[in-house]
Structure 1
Amino acid sequence: MTAETFFANFGHLVDAPNGVQKLRELILQLAVQGKLVPQDPSDEPASVLLEKIKIAKERLVTEGRIKPPKTLPPISEDGIPFELPRAWEWCRFGALGLIGSSSRVHKKDWKSKGVPFLRAREIVKLSQFGTVNNELFISEELFQELSNGGLVPEENDLMITGVGTIGIPYIVKNSDRFYFKDASVLIFKNHYGLYSRFLSCLLRTPYWIDTIHKESMGTTVHTLTISRANEVPIPLPPLEEQKRIVAKVDQLMALCDELEDRQQMQQQGRVRLNNAALDALLTAREPDEFADHWQRISTNFDLLYDHPETIAKLRAAILQLAVQGKLVPQDPNDEPASVLLKRIKAEKERLVKEKAIKKDKTLPEVEGLLHPVPDGWVWSRFQDVTLLVTDGEHSTPPRVASGVPLATAKNIRDGYVDLRVTDFVSEETAEKCWRRCYPRHDDILMVCVGATTGRLTVIKDPEDFVLVRSVALIRPFTPGILPEYLSVLLRSPVGQNQIWGNVKQSAQPCLYIGKIKAIEVPVPSTSEQKRIVAKVDQLMSLCDELEVKLNQTEQHSEKLLEATVRQLLVA
C-alpha cells in the first residue's frame, strides 16, 4: 500500500483506537525517513551542509565564542536505525549544534516576578499550547549576570525537556525572554542556522522518543542527559528538502485536525442520540409510548451501539427499566407487593419478640417520588425488606500468617468475591468477628468506604471469611425478597444515586449503615422479581456478547492500522 492509498483511506483507518494520534506519528516518522516528499536531485546534499557546520564550528572555537566540542563517536553500519535517501546523511545530534544546560539557580534566588524561570513542565506546556502561566521568576540582575557567562535562549534555539516527559521540544521565539532550570531542561543552541522547525518535527517522531527512552538514565524518573542527547543518531536531509517536509507535515497535520474534529462531532452526535433515545425510553409513561421508543432503538441499534463505551449506558438503562417495572409485563394474578410486605413485617415482629433480631428504628414514610411504579408495586425501605444490614469489624483485628481470610473493599468485585490476595486472622479472632457479621449464602456484600463505594455482589455458598468496616452486609428477607433483585436495584441509576447521595464526603467517602437501611426500594411481587432477574440476566449476557464483538472490531481496526503503518515504514 502506497502513502497515497493510505491518505485516501484516512477516514477508514483512523477509526481504530487512537487512530488519529497514530496517524500523526506515522506522518512524522515518514517525514524523517525521507518518504513523505519526493527528493530533488538539484538540492544541495546534506553532506555539504554538515561540512559548512564543521567550518562554522571551527571558526567559533577560534574566535573563543564556544569551547572546542568533544569528539563524538562515528555511526557504524550496525548503528544505522534505517535507510535514508541518497542525499541524506546520518550524524550525531551534537554535530548539528551546541547542546547544553543552564547555570545553577538556587531556590533562594526564585522570585514572584521578574524574568520567567522555566522548568520541564513549563516547556511541555509551551510546546503543546504556545503559552504558559509562569510560576517562578528570577531577578533582572541575575538574568543579566547569567546571560554574560552562560547559555541563554535565543530565537530558533530548541529547548528540550530533560526530566519526566523527556525529549519534548520547544522552538524559542523572537519575543521569548526567559531562563531555565539546569538538568530539568536542555538547550540546543542553533549556532549554524539550521531549520529549527524540521528539528522540532524530528524531536516529535516515534524514532526520537523510542531512542531516548531506550537508553534514558534513571529508574522511577526518566532523564535525558547532555551526553546522551549529543550521541543520538539524527537523519539529516538537504536544507531545501527540510522545508518541503515541514510544509507537507503542516498540511497533513491540518488534515488530521479536521479528521479529529469530524470524529469528535460524530461521537458527540452519537452520545446525544443515545442519551435522547434512552431518556425517552426511561420517561415513557404509557405502554404504547414505551413500545414506540423501544422500536426506534431497535431499528437504530447498530447506529446507537457501535462503540464499547456505549454499552455501559445500555446496561444502566436495562437496570433502570427493571426497577421501573418496564422490563417485563405485570401479571394480575401475582400476589401484590403490599401483601408480601405485611407478611414480612409480621414475621419480623415475631423475630423481635423472640429476640432473634433487633427492633428497627422508625424511619420516615417513603414518599415514592423517585419514579412511578406499576399497580401492585409498593415503595418501601431497605430495612423493611431485609433481616440484617450491618458492616464488618470496626477495630483492626490482629493478623496471622495463615488462617481465615480477611475481606476488605478491594476483595469485593462486581459479581464476585476475590480472595486470592488477603490478610488472615486466627480462627479465634474470626469467631469473635462472626458474632457481629457472618457472611452466608444469598447475602449481599457492598463496599461502603472508599472510591468503590456501591460496588457489590451476591454471595453463593461462600467459604468462611471475615469482613472489615469497609464492607456492608445486607441480608434480604428471603424467600419473599430476592437478593438478585436488590442487587439489580443497587446497581441501577436510582440505587447508585441514592448510595452516592448519602455518602459522607471526607478524606474517604463513607456510607453509614443507617443510610443503607433508609434506601428506598420499589418492591414488586416475588414472582415478578424472578421474571425481572431472569430478563436482566438475559439482556446482560447479550450486552456481554455485544461488547466482545465491538472490542474485537476495534482490535481488528487497530491491527489493520498497525499493519499499514509497518508496510509504509518498510516500503
Structure 2
Amino acid sequence: MTDVNQLITEHLDIWTSATEKKSSAGRGNGGAVSLYGIKKLRELILELAVRGKLVEAKELSSEESSAYVSQLLDKKNDLYKQGKIRKPKKYSDVSHAEIGFAVPTNWSSVRLGKIATKITDGSHNPPKNVGSGIPMLSSQNVNFGRIDFDNPTRFVTRSDYLAENERTAIEVGDVLLTIVASLGRSAVVPNNFPEFALQRSVAVVQTGLEPEFLCLLFQSPLCMDYFWRNAKGTAQKGIYLGKLAEMPIIVPPLAEQHRIVAKVKELMGLCDALETQTEDSLKAHQTLVETCLATLTNSQTPEDLSQNWARIENHFDTLFTTQESVKQLKNTVFKLAVSGHLVEQIEYENRSNQKNLRPDAQAEKYDLSAFEEQAKKFQLPKGWVIQPLSRVTSHIVDCPHTTPKWTDSGELCVKSNQIYARHLDLSEPNFVSSQTYLERIERLEPKEDDILYKREGGILGVGARIPKGTRVCLGQRLMLIRAGEAVLAEFLELVINSPWITNFAEEKTTGGAAPRVNMTLVRAYPIPVPPMDEQKRILRRVRDLVQRCSLIDGHMQSARSIERDLADALTLRIH
C-alpha cells in the first residue's frame, strides 16, 4: 500500500518546483505558469484511488464487491418490474485489457450501464431563454465537485422545466457529468438543490455507488482516457450516451468506497494547501523581483544605477529563477536603454546625427498633437533630442491592402503572425509568385534592416528587422519602417519595442473587435535620439545583457524540464 502522505512530504521539492508555462495569447500573459508537479500529484492520487492502492482493504470475507454488485443488479431488476425503468440491457463482460491494471481481488469490474439505473442527458432542443425563472445549466456550470446554480446559460418557464424534468427526474445524489466539449467534469447533486433543467452537454447518472466515488472514477485516467478515445465530433467532441453506458468501471465494496472518498478529500486538501503555499511563494518572489528592478529604473544618477545594478548582480541566482522574472529583467534593460540610463553620457560627444532629420515638408504626415502630448512626458538625458518617427526615418510605407495569392514556393511574403518584438520568425515561410512579389513592392522594396511593424490585430505594436540576406515582401496589416541617418536601425527597433512606445500604442489603439493603431499616430511616435556613438554603446550593452538573460532562460528551461521528468518518473514508479 502506497503511503501518499509520505510520498508528498519526502518529495516536496519535486511537486512544488515542477512548473510549466501556460499557453496564452495577448500581451502581458506570457508569465503565467501552471504547477505541473502538483497537477501530477492530483492525478496520481486519483489513479491510486481507483487502483485500490490508496486505503487498506478489510478482510476479504467481510467485504466482497461481487455480492454488492449482485445487490445493485437485483435493485435494478426490481425497478424494472415496478415499471420505473426500461428493461435492463445486457452488457458484455469487461476484459483485463480494457481496465489496464490488476483489479484488487475483492473488487469487481462492470460496464457503467449494467449497474446504472439512470443514464440520460439534458435537452437537445432547449426551450427559449426567458431571461428569468428556472435555470437551465450547461457543461459550463458543472465543475469538478461543484455545480454553479447562479450563472446559468439560460432560464426557462416552469412548464418547460416540468417537461424537461419528467425525463431527467433529477434527484439528490445523482451525478452530473459533462459529455460535450469539456469531457469528464462531474459533481454530485446536493441536498436542498434548487430546481434546474439541463442542456444536452450534461448527462445525469444514477447508480448504487457512493456518488462521490463515481465522480472520482469519472476524473481518473481510466475514465478520462475512455471519454477521449470514444468522443465524436470535430469542433466540439462529445460522447454518446450509448457509448457512455459501455464504459468499463471498477467497483470496490461500498464501505471501501467511503474510505477512498474520505482519503482522497484529505489528500486533495493537502494538495490545495501545497498549491496555495507555492503560489504565495511565487507571488512573493515576483514582488521581490519587481521591487529590485524598480530601483534600477528609479535611479537618479549613473552612480546610483551602478550601485543598484551591482546589488542585483550579487543576487542573480536568487532573483531570476522564473521565466517571468527573466522577461521582466529584459524589459527593464530595454527601458533603461531607451531612457538613457544604461550607459554613461559623454559630454561634448559628437551629436551631428541629430541634425540628419527629414524636414516636416518631406516627412509623412503625423499627428503633431499626439507627439507633443507624449514627448513632454519623456525626461530627456543630457545630449539627447526627441523627434517624431516620421522625421527620424527615410520611409514609412503601409502594406498593400489586398490579400496576396499564396503559392507553394517562390518569393517570401511575411504575415503579421510572424512578427514578434525584435524577431522575424521565418521558420514556417509563406510564398507568393514573382509577379505578386513585384506588385507588393511597388511602393518600396524591403531591404536588410528595414523594420516590419504590426499595427493591427490582437497582438499589435511590435516590430522586427529584416535579417541580412533575406528578401521579402509584405502581407497584410504590416508597415515598413526604414531608419534614416539620425538613428541606427537596431536602436530604432529597440525603441519601437520598448515600453515607452508599446504602452503609448496600446493606449491609443482603436477599432474594438479589429484593433489597430492609426498610421498618423505611428508616424508621430516620439523617438529619443542619442548621439550616434552613444547609440552604439547602448546596443553593445543591451546585446550583452540580453545574451546573459538568454543563458539564464536556457538553463532554467532545462532545469524545469528535468523537474517535470522527475515528477513524471515519480508517479510512474509507484504504479
Give the TM-score taking structure 1 as reference length: 0.89
Compute the displacement of 1:134 (Å): 2.7
Aligned residue number for residue 45 of structure 2: 27
Matched residue, 1:162: 179
Q: 1:448 to 1:130 in 2, by over 3 A?
A: closer
What fraction of aligned residue pairs are identical, expressed as a percent? 27
Deviation of 1:71 (Å): 0.5
Return the alpha-carbon distance in structure 2 between the equivalents of residues 567 and 359 of structure 1: 66
1:108-507 aligned at under 5 Å gives the runs 108=127, 111-124=130-143, 127-128=145-146, 130-144=148-162, 150-181=167-198, 183-190=200-207, 192=208, 194-332=209-347, 334-335=349-350, 337=351, 339-342=352-355, 344-345=356-357, 348=358, 363=368, 368-395=375-402, 404-413=411-420, 414-416=422-424, 418=426, 420-427=428-435, 430-431=437-438, 433-468=440-475, 470-478=477-485, 480-507=486-513
Return closer, same or farther for 1:177/1:507 CA change in 2, 3 Å cut-off: closer
- Root-mean-square deviation (CA, aligned residues, Å) is 2.8
Contact 1:195-1:243 within 8 A present in 2 as well: yes
After superposing the two structures, state which structure 1 stretch, 507-516 or 64-73, moved more: 507-516
Q: Alpha carbons of 1:432 and 1:189: their partners in 2 closer, same or farther (altered >3 Å)? A: closer
Summarize deviations over 1:340-365 as a string: whole Å, max 9, x none. Answer: 322x14xx56x98xxxx668779468
- 2:367–2:520: 8 Å Cα contact kept in structure 1? no
d(CA) in 1 for partners of 2:115 and 2:81?
18
CA contact (8 A) 2:90 2:114 kept: no
* 8 Å CA contact retained: 2:178, 2:203: yes
Q: CA deviation at 1:44?
A: 1.9
| Partner deviation per Cα, 1:155-185 (whole Å, 9 max, x = no partner) | 1111212211122222112212445446432
Cα distance in 2 for residues equivalent to 1:26 and 1:245: 14
Q: Which residue of 1 aligns with 2:107?
A: 88
Residues 396 and 53 (structure 1), Cα distance of their counterparts in 2 relative to 1, 3 Å cut: closer
For residue 33 of structure 2, what is the aligned residue in structure 1?
Answer: none
Question: Closer, same or farther in 2 for the Cα pair 1:282/1:100, shift >3 Å?
Answer: same
**CA, structure 1 residues 516+214, in 2 after alignment: closer, same or farther (shift >3 Å)?**
same
> Are the counterparts in 1 of residues 124 and 200 from structure 2 also a CA contact under 8 Å?
no
Aligned-pair CA distance for 1:131: 3.9
Of the three residues 91, 95, 99, the one matched with 1:72 is 91
Greater shift in the superposed pair: 93-102 or 526-535: 93-102
| Shift, 1:105, TM fit | 6.9
Structure 1 residue 397, shift from structure 2 partner: 6.2
- Aligned equivalents of 1:485, 1:388: Cα separation in 2: 16
SS at match of 2:481: strand
Q: Alpha-carbon deviations, 1:509-563, whole Å to 9, x = none?
A: 2223322222112221111111111111111111111111111111111000000
**Which amino acid letter does the alignment assign opposite residue 451 of structure 2?**
I
Superposition misfits of 4+ residues, deviation over 6 angstroms = 359-362, 397-402
Deviation per residue, 1:28-55 (Å, 9 max, x gap): 1111111111111164211111111122
Q: Write the deviation string for residues 76-123 of structure 1: whole angstroms up to 9, x where unpaired.
A: 343332112222121221233223225857445654444333233323
Tell me: CA distance 1:248–1:467, structure 2 relative to 1, closer, same or farther (3 Å).
same
Bigger shift: residues 166-175 or 559-568: 166-175
Contact kept? 1:366, 1:381, Cα under 8 Å: no
Verify the 8 A CA contact 2:412 2:472 in the aligned structure 1.
yes
Distance in 2 separating the partners of 1:507 and 1:57: 55
- What is the TM-score normalised by the length of structure 2? 0.88
**Alignment deviations for residues 181-211 of structure 1 (CA, whole Å, 9 cap, x no partner):** 4643222123x4x311111111111221112
1:50 is aligned to 2:69: yes
Q: Tell me, yes or no, if the aligned pair for 1:2 and 1:568 is still in contact at 8 Å.
A: no
SS of equivalent residue, structure 1 residue 101: strand
- Shift in Å, 1:220: 3.1
CA distance in 2 between partners of 1:158 and 1:397 (Å):
53
Asked if the contact 2:407/2:433 (under 8 Å) is kept, the reply is yes
SS at match of 1:133: coil
Q: Distance in 2 between matches of 1:499 and 1:251?
A: 50
State which drifts further: 150-159 or 465-474.
465-474
Structure 1 residues 154 and 86 mapped into 2: Cα distance closer, same or farther (>3 Å)?
A: same
CA distance in structure 2 between the partners assigned to 1:24 and 1:362 by the alignment: 56
Gap runs ≥5 in structure 2: 20-35
Which sections of structure 1, spanning at least 5 residues, go unmatched? none
8 A contact 1:392–1:467 mirrored in 2: yes
- Decide whether the 8 Å contact of 1:385 with 1:477 is kept in 2: yes
Distance 1:281 1:435, change over 3 A: same
Mapped contact 1:397–1:425 kept (Cα < 8 A): no
SS in 2 for 1:203: helix
SS in 2 for 1:150: helix
Question: Taking structure 1 as reference, are residues 377 and 113 closer, same or farther at Cα in structure 2, changes over 3 Å only?
Answer: closer
Post-superposition shift, 1:465? 3.4
Cα deviation for residue 495 of structure 1 reads: 2.2
Partners of 2:533 and 2:264 in 1: CA distance:
66
CA distance in 2: counterparts of 1:483 and 1:265, whole angstroms: 42
- Counterpart contact for 1:448–1:472, Cα < 8 Å: yes
Tell me the number of residue pairs that the alignment of Structure 1 and Structure 2 aligns: 553
SS at match of 1:457: strand
The farther-off stretch of 283-292 and 204-213 is 283-292
Whether the 8 Å contact between 1:101 and 1:182 is mirrored in structure 2 is no
For 2:241 and 2:404, how far apart are their aligned partners in 1? 54
Give the structure with higher Rg (CA).
1
Alignment partners' CA distance in 1, 2:441 and 2:314: 53
For the 8 Å contact 1:443–1:476, the answer to whether it is kept is yes
Provide the rounded CA distance (Å) in 2 between the counterparts of 1:546 and 1:170: 44
Q: How far is the alpha carbon of 1:250 from its aligned partner?
A: 0.9
Cα distance in 2, alignment partners of residues 419 and 266 from structure 1: 37
SS in 2 for 1:72: coil
Quote the offset at 1:467 in angstroms: 2.3
Q: CA deviation at 1:13?
A: 1.9
Structure 2 CA distance for partners of 1:449 and 1:255, relative to 1, 3 Å: same
**CA distance in structure 1 between the partners assigned to 2:315 and 2:147 by the alignment:** 40
Amino acid at match of 1:254: G
1:27 positional shift? 0.8
Q: Which residue of 1 aligns with 2:8?
A: 7
| 1:398 CA drift (Å) | 6.5
